Structure 1
Amino acid sequence: MTSRLFARPGLVAPFKAAIAALLALSLVACRSTELTTAGLLPFAAPQSVGAVTGEAEIRGQSTLVLDYASGRTLYEEAADGLRYPASLTKMMTLYLLFEAIGEGRLSLDSELRVSENAASKPPAKIGLEPGTTIRVRDAAQAIAVKSANDVATAIAENLGGSEAGFAAAMTAKARSLGMSRTQFANASGLPDPRQISTARDMSTLGRALLSRFPQYASLFSVTEFEYGGKRFKATNKLVGKVPGVDGLKTGYIRDAGFHLVATAKRGGRRIIVVVMGGEKGRDRDAKVTALIDQYLGAARFAER
């Protein structure tokens, strides 16, 4: 299934005008922010919202199953152990992007400028060229499906003025959502020892992303999309294969292992499953599938 998420709206103000019209965005504890032509620059540095102490365990394994409706934890194993979140990070990148759209600070057809820094990020990427632009709607789809690092950095630089500035806003938003053991250093999840989180915090983020922005849920349920004449397949291999699975996000770096935050609905009930630190992608996928079957029942009850 190729993405057909967004209908094209009518006349949309140019991106520069949208940026010039930005209003101050409140962060944790009602901290104010300053809008400049370079983006949204938080006054507060990441440590001002409480730096997380400790080191992430290399390829540490964690598991958590969350009931979506109630937020109740159904199963957990090492759910509070510090882990490198890898590309699960991009759920927060999208959260802040969707928030900016909802507040009218940009639109789905706003153009994000691509810097040399963004274009230079290693794969996964969609091959953005420096000096070009990408529409917000395409950027969101590229993150959700392909987990594109070049796109994540472009979003960060356009919204935050710099990736460091955006990471500060990400960390502050994490605190406001109750993610007490998460700290962000970049928008992509590429290796950085300061970028840490937990399975519990990632389940909190996944639930918040779906509940606050249900209009974008279909972003995560497509199996491929096209951009720039190329076709990109989804990194989440359970979508379209395991009945009831309709998102959310995969992640991998060498020191993290294979991660997946998955959401599934069967028999009218939805759960979020977090598995972090899988030795192989297929092992991670098998574990997530088994947990979905265990807590939602047989696949014959799946809702498509």
Structure 2
Amino acid sequence: MKPSLHSLLLWLLLCVCAVPVMAQPTTPAPPELDARGYLLVDFHTGKTLAELNADERLEPASLTKIMTAYAVFRELAAQRIKLDDQVLVSEKAWRTGGSKMFIEVGKRVSLEDLLKGMIIQSGNDASVALAEYVSGNVESFANLMNAHAQRLGMTHSHFTNPNGLPDPELYTTARDMARVAVALIREFPEYYAWYSNLEFTYNGITQPNRNPLLRRDPSADGIKTGYTKAAGYCLIGSAKRDDMRLISVVMGSSSPRARAEASLALLNYGFRTYESHKLYPVGQPIENLRVWFGEQETLAAGPERDVVATIPRGQYDKLSARLEKTPDLNAPIAQGERLGEVVIALGTEEVTRIPLVALQELPKGGLWRYAKDSFLRMF
């Protein structure tokens, strides 16, 4: 007896349903770490790759010195101070407890040596000497630190001293510390190079850099450790492999070994799981846009800064780009004026938006151009 058409269709349907459906690849979960809070971000895009309690208020300990260095670097950039300035060491700076550069009261020390003593040796005494030289006293310098923190968007941070010694009103978050670390590296690469120095000698005393990543990961080049009993063991790390730089923040680990292992685990997870691609460099023309009433009809437009996408590994072929252009552009247009946005997407998910700007100036055209464009716009 031949099977009916209905039974054949039912058999085919059961066969199709029995075929296993291939699941979409998922991003591996970050490792479990010994830390009260942590954060892993891509330096170029700011994309968060892993986090735990990243916005919880925590004590920064000597991570504070990253903000101290940033504030001093800003003063150097403004040419209000110089690296070869000779700083008189006060009794307050000399008496500061904790880790020391071993400066001596009444002696003069170059600003550059004080910075290296703070960055490489984590000198609390050097931090106070720098604060007093820049702002007159520690309290005024703390106000400067807080002003920079607000400008950088560190809305959950408050600083009361330049070295991170315990204070009930001294606090931050892992996310805020990542913000200042990124700003320091981006704005001051020439000074950031000091963070990878393995040791520094002052007054005949050589001290090693306290950052264990520098000796355990050849791609690591910064940035700072911290410890107090209340804060636990903290470490902000930075590493660069090929064109990808990651920033890791680990706060509140139980031991020096735990913070080092947590930082390495985060960095390795990020580099293993994600990849970054520079899609359009800053200043590269992407499109010639139609402009009305200008000396010429079109104007070259490009990204305001490098267009970089951080995505899970193996997903590059799913990236797409589009331009969202400002309608009805009219001359005159200044160089750098915003003309729209470059939008990068991974499948249906938006990855990043970068302003699209004019790559040169376009002055207003003459009477003939005005009359011609007015006529064309009517139709």
> Where does the alignment leave 5 or more consecutive residues of structure 2 unmatched?
1-33, 274-379
- Within a 5 Å distance, the mapping from 1:9-88 to structure 2 comes to 61-88=36-63
1:250 aligns with 2:189: no
Q: CA deviation at 1:96?
A: 1.2
The answer on whether the counterparts of 1:267 and 1:296 sit within 8 Å (CA) in structure 2 is no
The answer on whether the counterparts of 1:119 and 1:129 sit within 8 Å (CA) in structure 2 is yes
The answer on whether the counterparts of 2:37 and 2:52 sit within 8 Å (CA) in structure 1 is yes
Residues 79 and 170 from structure 1, CA distance in 2 versus in 1: closer, same or farther, beyond 3 angstroms?
same
CA displacement, residues 84-136 of structure 1 (integer Å, 9 cap, x when unaligned):
11101001111111111111111110011211000001120011111112111
Specify the code of the residue in structure 1 equivalent to 2:173: T
Match of 1:216 in 2: 191
Match of 2:81 in 1: 106
Specify the code of the residue in structure 1 equivalent to 2:189: P
- Within a 5 Å distance, the mapping from 1:173-188 to structure 2 comes to 173-188=148-163
CA displacement, residues 133-180 of structure 1 (integer Å, 9 cap, x when unaligned):
211111111111111000000011111111011001101110000000
Q: CA deviation at 1:217?
A: 1.7
The answer on whether the counterparts of 2:101 and 2:122 sit within 8 Å (CA) in structure 1 is no
Give the counterpart of 1:293 among 236, 247, 268: 268
> Where does the alignment leave 5 or more consecutive residues of structure 1 unmatched?
1-58, 299-304
Specify the code of the residue in structure 2 equivalent to 1:218: A
Question: Which whole-Å CA distance do the structure 2 matches of 1:137 and 1:145 have between them?
Answer: 12
Match of 2:247 in 1: 272
1:171 aligns with 2:136: no
Match of 1:227 in 2: 202
1:137 aligns with 2:112: yes
Question: Which whole-Å CA distance do the structure 2 matches of 1:237 and 1:75 have between them?
Answer: 21
Question: Which whole-Å CA distance do the structure 2 matches of 1:171 and 1:147 have between them?
Answer: 21
Question: Which whole-Å CA distance do the structure 2 matches of 1:241 and 1:204 have between them?
Answer: 25
Count, aligned residues: 240
Specify the code of the residue in structure 2 equivalent to 1:274: V
Identity %: 38
Residues 284 and 60 from structure 1, CA distance in 2 versus in 1: closer, same or farther, beyond 3 angstroms?
closer
Q: CA deviation at 1:243?
A: 2.3
Match of 1:123 in 2: 98
Question: Which whole-Å CA distance do the structure 2 matches of 1:260 and 1:129 have between them?
Answer: 29
Structure 1 segments of 4+ aligned residues over 2 angstroms from their partners:
none
Question: Which whole-Å CA distance do the structure 1 matches of 2:59 and 2:155 have between them?
Answer: 15
Match of 1:21 in 2: none
The answer on whether the counterparts of 1:60 and 1:83 sit within 8 Å (CA) in structure 2 is no
Match of 2:259 in 1: 284
Question: Which whole-Å CA distance do the structure 2 matches of 1:241 and 1:122 have between them?
Answer: 29
The answer on whether the counterparts of 2:35 and 2:259 sit within 8 Å (CA) in structure 1 is no
Q: CA deviation at 1:218?
A: 1.1
Specify the code of the residue in structure 1 equivalent to 2:105: P
CA displacement, residues 21-48 of structure 1 (integer Å, 9 cap, x when unaligned):
xxxxxxxxxxxxxxxxxxxxxxxxxxxx
Secondary structure in 1 matching 2:245: strand
Match of 1:22 in 2: none
Specify the code of the residue in structure 2 equivalent to 1:99: R
Question: Which whole-Å CA distance do the structure 1 matches of 2:165 and 2:136 have between them?
Answer: 19
CA displacement, residues 183-240 of structure 1 (integer Å, 9 cap, x when unaligned):
0000000011110000000000100010011111211001111111110111101113
Specify the code of the residue in structure 2 equivalent to 1:170: M
**RMSD (Å), alpha carbons:** 1.3
Q: CA deviation at 1:242?
A: 1.1
Match of 1:195 in 2: 170
1:236 aligns with 2:211: yes
Specify the code of the residue in structure 1 equivalent to 2:116: Q
Question: Which whole-Å CA distance do the structure 2 matches of 1:226 and 1:243 have between them?
Answer: 23
Question: Which whole-Å CA distance do the structure 1 matches of 2:205 and 2:218 have between them?
Answer: 28
Secondary structure in 2 matching 1:112: strand
Give the counterpart of 1:92 among 62, 67, 90: 67
Match of 2:24 in 1: none
More displaced stretch, 277-286 vs 125-134:
125-134
Specify the code of the residue in structure 2 equivalent to 1:73: T
Question: Which whole-Å CA distance do the structure 1 matches of 2:80 and 2:196 have between them?
Answer: 26
Q: CA deviation at 1:60?
A: 7.3
TM-score (norm 1): 0.77
Larger radius of gyration: 2
